Amino acid sequence: MSKIYDISQRIRTGIPVWPGDCEFSLKPTWQIEPGSPVNVSEMTLSTHTGTHADARLHFDANGLDCADTALDAYIGPTIFLDISKQVDGTVLPEHLSALPTKCERVLLKLFPQFPHDGWDPEFPAFSVEAIELLQTKGCILIGTDVPSLDPQSSKEMDAHFAVDRAEMAILEGLVLDDVPEGQYELIALPLKIEGADGSPVRAILRTTE
């Protein structure tokens, strides 16, 4: 029987968000009481809250939004590596030496322990060369536990544009602390939101044995 690993952040009041971005909130619109048979809530959140997919529109004014983003990359065979002890600031090609010659989807753990209760502005980022190496391996999706492929201070978004040239999909903010390295099936679909530059996802890994 296969095992499922939930690799999503819990979206909740106080969840850390990119500095200056919209804080998450949830408040009742209707509550079960005399005259109301249901609970219904109003939710406010950023398109990049928690575990999320970046649409091309996030970093390219002419890029596709979430509603028009193809879903193929977000479902299928995946390899997961923990390189958190190797990386000092930037993911380089040499950090990816354990990957096979061909890999469609790659998830990389960069935080020694995921920072659920705080924001780490010095999170590791990706070099263009690392993205280009993944492209040579046929990678169509890169996923990671950090909130962005580029440094927090970046204005050029070099890693994002390298991913765009390679026609890869992006998942960020994964929670990978309790997952053994290995091969899995990934399921992490973005919502079909017209005009959205990103979308929270419920990301899971399922064992293939």
- Residues designated catalytic: 58
Beta strands in the chain (DSSP E): 4-6, 25-30, 40-44, 52-54, 75-82, 90-91, 105-109, 125-126, 141-144, 169-172, 182-187, 198-200, 204-207
SS3 call for 3: coil
Q: How many CB atoms lie within 10 A of CB 92?
A: 15
Give yes or no for a contact between 55 and 69, defined as CB atoms under 8 angstroms apart.
yes
